[in-house]
C-alpha cells in the first residue's frame, strides 16, 4: 500500500482509510528520526508476517514487540554505552525490572546496595520478593561484605554507578571482578552518570540500565528507559517484554533521541556548575557534609577520578536536621522542588520524605541517608545566580534552626 493506492472506484470509507494511513514515499532521508506512531506494520504476505513474528526475519509487525523509533533510540544509547545492543522501555523502572527479571527466577538471590533509588529497593524487596527472589542490601564500598553475600550464591549483583541519593561511587571494575568470580551477572544503573561520564559495559558490566527520563532526555518532558548489553542478554530482555509489554512510546523515544544530541554539552556545564556549588557549600556554617564526586573530600574521590569523565550534575548536602532541610528547600527561588533529576532546571528534593520515602528510619540509617539531606540536580541556570540563591536559603535555614549552626 502506498500514496498512489487510493482506489478511485471504492467508497468514501475505504478511500479515506487508505488515503489517510499511507506514509509518504521519500527520496531524501529526514535529519531527525521520524516518530513511527503505528501499532502495526504490514508484511508483504502472511508467510513474511509469520517469519517476522517468529524472529526468523528482521522487520516490524507490532509495536509492543519492536517499533522503529524506539529501536533507533535503544541503538543510539547502546552505541554510546559501548554495548552491542539495547532495548527501549517505558520508564527507568521498567528498564530495571526488565533487566533484572530477565536474569532471575524464584529461589534466586540478588545482591544490591544500601543506598539504591527508593523504587528499586521496593521492586527488589517487595515485588520480586513476592515471586521468591530474595535481595540482600550491602555497602558497595565494603568489598568484604559484598563478597560474603556473593559467596552465599547470587544470580545478580545490582549497582548504581553513582548512588541515589548519597552519591557513593561504585568501584565498578573491582566489583564486577568479584561478581564474575562468583558467577553472578552485574547490572548497573548508570542514570546519575549517563554514558557521557561513565560506560559500565567497558568495566565489565553485563547489563546497564538508564532512566532516560533524566540526563539522556534532559528537559523534564519525557519518562522513558533503556537497557543495554550483549546481543544475547538483550534478546532475553526483549523476549520478556513481548509478554510484559512495558515498551517505550515512539514519541518518548523521539524526545530522548533529541536530548541525546546535546548530552555532552549539557553534562559538561552541569558538572562545572555542580563543582562550583559543591565548593561553595563545603565549609558553610550549618552544612555538615557535601557529597560530590568532584570534591577531594569525597570518600571515593580516587575511584571517581578513574571512572568518571567529570563529577556530573548530582550533589547532596547534609544540613544536619530535617527542619533545616525543609526551611532551606522552601526558601529557594530558582530550583524547582520536585522528585526527578537530570534536567535543564535545577531540582532540589528532600530524599527521606520523597524519593526514598519507602525507607523506614532503620533503612535510612543503614543506607547512610541523613535526616537533613538535600539532593540537588544542578541545572543549566547561571552558576552565580544559583549560588546566590542557595546562599540566601542557607541563611534562612540558619535563622530558622539556629541549633544546627556549627
Ligand X SMILES: Cc1ncc(COP(=O)(O)O)c(C=O)c1O
Residues that bind ligand X (CB under 6 A): 91-93, 117, 160, 164, 189, 191-192, 211, 213, 223, 225, 340
- In the complex, what is the shortest distance from the CB of residue 164 to ligand X, in angstroms, rounded to a whole number? 4
The three grid cell numbers given for residue 275, joined into one nine-digit string: 563543582
For ligand X, give the closer residue by CB, 225 or 294.
225
Cβ distance to ligand X smaller for residue 179 or 227: 227
Q: What is the smallest separation between the CB atom of 187 and ligand X, expressed in angstroms?
A: 12
Nearest approach in angstroms of CB 191 to ligand X is 4
Minimum distance from residue 405 beta carbon to ligand X (Å): 31
For ligand X, the closer CB: 248 or 327? 248
211 C-beta neighbours (distance < 10 Å), count = 28
Distance separating the N- and C-terminal Cα atoms of the chain = 74
- CA-to-CA distance for 362 and 394, rounded, in angstroms? 28
Under a CB-based contact definition with an 8 Å cutoff, are residues 156 and 110 in contact?
yes
Nearer Cβ to ligand X, position 52 or 80? 80
* Contact between 44 and 52 (Cβ < 8 Å): no
What is the sign, positive or negative, of the torsion defined by CA atoms of 29, 77, 68, 56?
Answer: positive
For 388, left (φ over 0), alpha (ψ -120 to 50), or beta? alpha
- In the complex, least distance from residue 74 CB atom to ligand X, rounded to whole angstroms: 15
User: CB-wise, 248 or 320, nearer to ligand X?
Assistant: 248
Minimum distance from residue 229 beta carbon to ligand X (Å): 17
Q: Which residue of the chain is nearest ligand X when measured via CB?
A: 92
The CA-CA-CA angle for residues 5, 52, 48, to 5°, reads: 55
Q: Which one, 76 or 287, has the nearer CB to ligand X? A: 76
**Cis status of the peptide bond prior to 260, with omega within 30 of 0:** no
Amino acid at each position: 500500500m502506498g500514496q498512489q493506492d487510493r482506489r478511485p472506484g471504492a467508497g468514501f470509507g475505504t478511500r479515506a482509510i487508505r488515503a489517510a494511513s499511507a506514509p509518504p514515499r521519500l527520496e531524501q532521508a529526514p535529519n531527525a528520526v521520524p516518530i513511527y506512531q503505528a501499532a502495526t506494520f504490514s508484511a508483504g504476505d502472511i508467510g513474511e508476517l509469520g517469519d517476522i513474528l517468529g524472529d526468523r526475519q528482521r522487520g516490524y509487525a507490532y509495536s509492543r514487540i519492536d517499533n522503529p523509533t524506539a529501536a533507533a533510540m535503544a541503538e543510539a544509547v547502546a552505541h554510546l554505552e559501548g554495548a552491542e545492543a539495547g532495548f527501549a522501555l517505558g520508564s527507568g523502572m521498567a528498564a530495571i525490572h526488565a533487566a533484572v527479571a530477565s536474569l532471575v527466577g524464584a529461589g534466586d538471590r540478588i545482591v544490591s546496595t544500601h543506598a539504591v533509588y527508593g523504587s528499586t529497593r521496593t521492586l527488589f524487596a517487595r515485588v520480586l520478593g513476592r515471586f521468591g527472589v530474595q535481595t540482600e542490601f550491602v555497602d558497595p564500598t565494603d568489598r568484604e561484605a559484598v563478597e560474603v553475600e556473593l559467596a552465599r550464591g547470587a544470580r545478580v549483583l545490582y549497582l548504581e554507578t553513582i548512588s541515589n541519593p548519597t552519591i557513593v561511587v561504585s568501584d565498578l571494575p573491582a566489583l564486577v571482578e568479584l561478581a564474575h568470580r562468583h558467577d553472578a551477572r552485574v547490572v548497573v544503573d548508570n542514570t546519575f552518570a549517563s554514558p557521557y561520564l561513565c560506560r559500565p559495559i567497558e568495566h565489565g558490566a553485563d547489563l546497564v540500565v538508564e532512566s532516560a527520563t533524566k540526563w539522556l532526555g534532559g528537559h523534564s518532558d519525557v519518562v522513558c528507559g533503556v537497557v543495554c548489553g550483549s546481543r544475547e542478554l538483550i534478546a532475553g530482555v526483549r523476549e520478556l517484554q513481548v509478554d510484559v509489554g512495558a515498551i517505550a512510546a515512539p514519541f518518548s523515544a523521539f524526545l530522548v533521541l533529541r536530548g541525546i544530541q546535546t548530552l555532552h554539552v549539557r553534562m559538561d556545564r552541569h558538572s562545572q556548575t555542580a563543582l562550583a556549588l559543591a565548593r561553595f557549600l563545603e565549609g558553610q556554617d550549618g552544612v555538615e557534609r557535601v557529597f560530590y564526586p568532584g570534591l577531594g573530600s569525597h570518600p571515593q574521590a580516587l575511584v571517581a577520578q578513574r571512572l568518571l569523565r567529570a563529577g556530573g550534575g548530582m550533589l547532596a548536602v547534609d544540613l544536619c536536621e530535617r527542619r533545616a532541610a525543609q526551611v532551606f528547600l522552601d526558601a529557594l527561588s530558582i530550583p524547582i522542588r520536585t522528585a526527578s533529576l537530570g534536567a535543564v532546571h535545577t531540582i532540589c528534593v528532600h530524599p527521606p520524605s520523597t524519593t526514598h520515602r519507602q525507607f523506614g528510619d532503620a533503612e535510612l540509617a543503614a543506607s547512610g541517608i541523613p535526616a537533613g539531606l538535600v539532593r540537588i540536580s544542578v541545572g543549566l541556570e547561571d552558576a552565580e545566580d544559583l549560588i546566590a540563591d542557595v546562599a540566601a536559603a542557607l541563611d534562612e535555614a540558619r535563622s530558622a534552626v539556629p541549633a544546627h549552626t556549627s
